[in-house]
Chains A and B, each alone.
Chain A
Amino acid sequence: MKKYVQPQVDVLPFVSASTLLTASNESFEIDEFDPGFVTP
């Protein structure tokens, strides 16, 4: 069995220039669902 442990994490190396990234987001699609709640 695989045992998960916290990996070693280091800060990325230091340089002087600034960096730009463009990030886009996925949309949520909407589904309608009748839960059919049991009448108490």
Chain B
Amino acid sequence: MRKIYIPIVLAAAALSACTRDVEPELPAGELMVVKASFEDSDTRTSLSVNGAGSRADVMWNSGDQINLLAFTGSSVYYNYFSTSDDGAPVAEFSCHNWKPVTEAQYAAVYPADKYKGYEYSAADGYTFGMVIPPVQTAVKGGVERGLLRSFATAGSSVSSNLTFRNAIALLRFRIGGSAASRVCKVKLFAGADIAGDCLAVISNSGEFSYITNKWFMPLEYGQSNSVELQGTFEPGEDYHFATIPCESDGFSLIFYDASDRIISRHSYKTLKLIRSRITDIGTVQLNGEFGAADPDVVTYMKHSKGSVPVCLAVVAEGFTASEQDKFVTLAKSAVDVLFGTEPYKTYKDYFNVYLIKAVSNESGASVTDGNGNIVTKRDTRFGARWGSSVYYDMESDQPKVWGYVSARCPEILKGQLTIDQVAVALIINDSRYGGRCTVTSSGRSVAHVPYTSSGGPITWEFPDVIANDDITLDGAHYTTAAERNEVGRSHGDWRNTFLHEFGGHGFGRLLDEYWDGPSYNTGTTIVQHNWSVPYGLNVSGVYNSVPWQADLLDNLDALVARDSRYSRIGRFQGGDEMVLNRWRCEKISCMIDNRQYFSAWQRELIVKRIMELSGSSFSLSDFIASDVTFDPVRDGSVSGAAVATMASALSCPPLAPPQFIDYSTGAGKPQPVLK
């Protein structure tokens, strides 16, 4: 091994790295991936490739830097080492001003300056805050400079040799066909987080694992289910996406021309992106025209207001190939109920609504034991499942849903929106009762809505008990007939489930306002209020500090003068599953019994979200001017035929509370206790 004489400029850089208060200013690192048959490269002479070309070596290049870390107690010591070796799989790295720390655990990372944090524990091993940019530059035959990630662990002492192990996976492809020469961007969409911030963990036995929903803060990119490759693409040449290792059940490649028109390629196969492996999918033939409509996507509504459309995606689950028309019919019917309900009705011109087909091998959905364990499996596209008698465990493979929608929603494909901004509903071709929405702190959602009773009538009752008063925690009583008569009884069908789960929980980001039984807790904090995309502002944990105080309660006299139904506004005890210690704005709403009525404060929250997502500004006076207070249950008339239908309706308990996924702290609200 040859000795390295460090140039003065590098030595100076190394010295600056040893000063805690001064950020080192060092040249960017570089690694190259070179395949067996790669030619005309200045690294060719140093390749170590087997005869079959089934391996690609990683070459160190001059200027590369590694960061040597020493973990001791709660501290992590570091120093940068640099190399001037070029195009070599083994290189010498040097640093002035370093000596081992006693009683430490050592590890090294490449590139030196691309990590968000480090941690070592005797139980878990090493944790590195790894960041994979979701936008990468295309490099013929290789990857972007400084994009590869690798770690070396050294135990309790550093020998002279460090063996770096790759921490990422690569997806290789080539393009061919008549449209190939016009490609200038390629995007990979997966049903998993494949880029952004994550934690890479190396156990003490050397096993790698990855955590994509906890991070060292602050976030740089957050989660990304896509990687975009930009640059120049030559037909027949190798290009690579660098990703977080994972498995994706289904994936898509989207090819863009210079005008951002696309050609889509969707796969239903399971893509395994394995650490330190290149998955080569071969040549993708692009013979069609850019800009052809995706046959899976039916555009049901188009916006005419707002600088950006507010997008909703309604997706088929448990519909076979021959049932796709049935899905479209049901989806249109459900969307019509949503946009027949205020405030969606008044603000419908802000929305694009996409009905997205998805073929399942079997009809229906899987049946669980009520605790998440599948007892009867149905082979459906997104794995929707819930218990036969208990539906509080209802969910699907949500990341797969988000990836599927991301690769088909036109505004996401254009880069105008992310999946965090597009509310998703799954219409599930299963006649059982249920309904639950999965929501995340970053704004994502999937509302799970079954085709209950094959469209037959359903009715929901007001809760059996009610707070003794609206201020104190002084107990509850059985709801009286007079109290029931005041709010009326909700009648409808599965589309009311759609309204509650999708319009209320998913898009509106509203908490439930019902309660079930006399239980409650004394805590006053609703953690979802502080999410990065706040959730549940329709419910307060403090009587004297409700979020609708300034806009509604303080203006109540003027509001009632305009419309007497605003006298329904107040502070009513009960909500968020608790009969006491939570307050809601009105006695009754869609978030209790699924009627086609949102309370005034719920309407304002929904309109604020519409305005925000559409790039518009919210005006309280504009909202009030166009607000509609009509509740069809209390303010409408019921026909004789409807009364007959009501008599045969299936009486159902409340829908399940949302499944909360908290990416901001790593600690979400626990799963609900099964009942």
Interface residues of A (CB under 8 A from B): 1-38, 40
Contact = CB atoms under 8 A, between A and B. Distances in A.
B17 interface: yes
B466 to A, nearest CB: 35
Residue in A2, A25, A34, A37 whose Cβ sees the most chain B Cβ within 10 Å: A25
B268 interface: yes
Chain B interface main SS type? strand
Residue in A7, A9, A12, A18 whose Cβ sees the most chain B Cβ within 10 Å: A12
A26 B172 CA distance: 18
A27 B57 contact: yes
Given A1-B666, A6-B117, A37-B267, 15 more contacts: A1-B665, A4-B129, A4-B215, A11-B78, A13-B99, A20-B94, A21-B161, A23-B162, A25-B59, A27-B55, A27-B89, A28-B57, A33-B279, A33-B282, A40-B264
Nearest to B66: A23
Interface string B70-113: 10001111110101000001111111111101000000100000
Interface stretch (B269-277, B505-513, B625-633): B269-277
Nearest to B162: A23
B38 interface: no
B62 to A, nearest CB: 14
A4 B68 CA distance: 21
Contacts of A8: 74-76
Given A1-B667, A10-B20, A20-B94, A25 B279 contact: no
Given A15-B98, A19-B95, A40-B295, A25 B68 contact: no
Contacts of B90: 22-25
B55 to A, nearest CB: 5
B398 interface: no
A20 B117 contact: no
A28 to B, nearest CB: 4
B482 interface: no
A5 B108 CA distance: 20
21 contacts: A4-B117, A13-B99, A14-B18, A15-B98, A20-B4, A22-B1, A23-B60, A23-B90, A23-B162, A25-B31, A25-B57, A25-B166, A28-B166, A28-B170, A28-B276, A30-B35, A31-B277, A33-B280, A35-B265, A37-B265, A37-B284
A11 B79 CA distance: 6
A21 B92 contact: yes
A9 to B, nearest CB: 5
Contacts of B68: 12, 21
Residue in A15, A18, A37 whose Cβ sees the most chain B Cβ within 10 Å: A37
Contacts of A32: 280, 282
Residue in A8, A11, A16 whose Cβ sees the most chain B Cβ within 10 Å: A11
A32 B278 CA distance: 8
Contacts of A34: 269, 281-282
Contacts, number: 219
B92 A22 contact: yes
A22 B264 CA distance: 45
A13 B98 CA distance: 6
Contacts of B552: none
B412 interface: no
A30 B18 contact: no
A11 B127 CA distance: 19
Contacts of A14: 18, 97
A11 B284 contact: no
B301 interface: no
A37 B18 CA distance: 52
Interface in B155-172: 158, 160-166, 170, 172
Nearest to B91: A23
A26 B83 CA distance: 17
Contacts of A38: 265-268
B55 A19 contact: no
Interface string B202-229: 0000000000001111000000000000
Nearest to B11: A18
Given A10-B77, A21-B94, A35-B269, A28 B99 contact: no
Nearest to B269: A36
A17 B271 CA distance: 49
A16 B160 CA distance: 18
Contacts of B253: 35, 37
B118 interface: yes
A29 B55 contact: yes
A35 B75 CA distance: 46
A28 B119 contact: no
A21 B163 CA distance: 11
Interface in B342-376: none
A18 B633 CA distance: 82
B145 to A, nearest CB: 15
B292 interface: yes
A26 B164 contact: yes
